[in-house]
Amino acid sequence: MSKIISGRYGGLYIANPKHSIRPTTGKVKEYIFNVLQNLEGRRVIDLFCGTGALGIEALSHNAEHVTFVDNNSRSIQLSYSNLESIKAPDNTWKCIKSDVLKFFQRDKNKYDIILADPPYELELNETFFNLCREHLNPEALLILEYSRRGKFTSGEWEAIKKKKMGDTIVYIFSMTS
């Protein structure tokens, strides 16, 4: 079980996976949401959602709506179960089983925050970052949790904050950078 760090659902627990994914640690979640603070009225998307921990933390911090996307059906089911277990109102979230790039090619929505925690072995390219840019509102943020050994090509994106935490680096990219 993983604990929701703070906010409306703070202190509640969500289930961990029984399949091979790497859940976000409490320390990393705490850093991300200390930077983000209150998300009231914000539309958030949790890419490569795994357990749904990042998106659930966003709901706990008053996000208006969170979309959870993962191509693994077990991850989507786990995210759904975790949302049900904390009794998050149905109109505040949606779970979608899809490859992230294919989802973005179909999706017409704009978001205020993208939370991305891809598998560490996945090499992100400019296509991913360009699609993120197309789906973000002005002054929006992209939060990327990635392996410090991982490689990605972000194109014109520059991190406004970068924090190393063990094998993980949290990058915070701004649309205005």
Cα distances from 21 to residues 3, 123, 145, in angstroms, run: 17, 16, 14
Reported as a single tens digit per residue, the pLDDT across 63-107 is: 999 999 999 999 999 999 999 999 999 999 999 999 999 999 999
Cα distances from 109 to residues 58, 63, 114, 127, 136, in angstroms, run: 18, 16, 12, 18, 8
> Is it the case that residue 170 has pLDDT exceeding 60?
yes
- Residue that the structure tokens 């859940």 belong to: 23
pTM given for the model:
0.93
Query: Can you give the pLDDT at residue 61?
Result: 96
Distance CA 91, CA 173 (A): 28
The residue among 61 and 18 whose pLDDT is bigger is 61
Q: For residue 24, how many other CB atoms are within 10 A of its CB? A: 19
Distance CA 134, CA 107 (A): 10
The residue ranges of every structural domain in the chain are 2-174
> Is it the case that residue 177 has pLDDT exceeding 60?
no
Segment 123-145 shows an average pLDDT of 93
- Residue that the structure tokens 């991300």 belong to: 32
> Is it the case that residue 162 has pLDDT exceeding 80?
yes
Contact 51, 14 (CB under 8 A): yes
- Residue that the structure tokens 């998106």 belong to: 55
CATH code, residues 2-174:
3.40.50.150
Reported as a single tens digit per residue, the pLDDT across 16-60 is: 877 667 778 889 999 999 999 889 999 999 999 999 999 999 999
Contact 93, 27 (CB under 8 A): no
